Amino acid sequence: MRLSKKGEYAVRALVEIGFESDARPQSLIQISTVAQRTNIPEKFLEQILLALRNGGVLKSKRGVEGGYSLAKGPDQITLGEVIRLLDGPLAPIPCVSLSAYEKCSCPDEASCGLRIAMQQVRDSIAGILDNYKLDRLIEEVRKHRATQPSEWQFDI
């Protein structure tokens, strides 16, 4: 697994959308606002938010009063789900992937030492990311921002 810029930016954007949803439930946040707050190029962010919407993480409304909001509670969105949507399987090699398995070149896949080790890596990564919820991340970011004066603090 390698976290791409898309995956990184998706998590950053979701934190900001989550902050907005905490501050003003049922409100929408515009792409331009998220882009400004997260320092993500707006055109790239559009692609990311579209993928998150298509994956059921976000919902959107078009038009002047439009924008994005969470499609479900932040306690129901995991980092594993988000990273899989943007970057694909969490497995470090295809022969241990549960969702994108590909046979490897080993003569005996079942006893391949690398495969055995990478299954444990996959299980550990998935175990952490599939249990790390957006609400926990938002709270941790909120605590950190409260103790650090920075440009990240906005009037919401």
pLDDT in tens, 4-34: 999 999 999 999 999 988 878 788 999 999 9
- CATH code of the region 5-88+133-147: 1.10.10.10
The pLDDT, as a whole number, for residue 65 is: 84
Consecutive H or E run containing 37: helix 31-38
| pLDDT tens, residue by residue, 117-147 | 999 999 999 999 999 999 999 999 989 888 8
Whole-prediction pTM:
0.85
User: CB count, 10 Å around CB of 70?
Assistant: 20
The pLDDT, as a whole number, for residue 99 is: 85
pLDDT reading at 156 higher than 50: no
The pLDDT, as a whole number, for residue 58 is: 97
With CA atoms as reference, report the closest residue to 67 among 8, 134, 20.
20
Going 103 to 5 to 12 to 35, the CA torsion angle's sign is: negative
| pLDDT tens, residue by residue, 49-74 | 999 999 999 999 998 888 999 999 99
CA–CA separation, 143 vs 87, rounded Å? 28
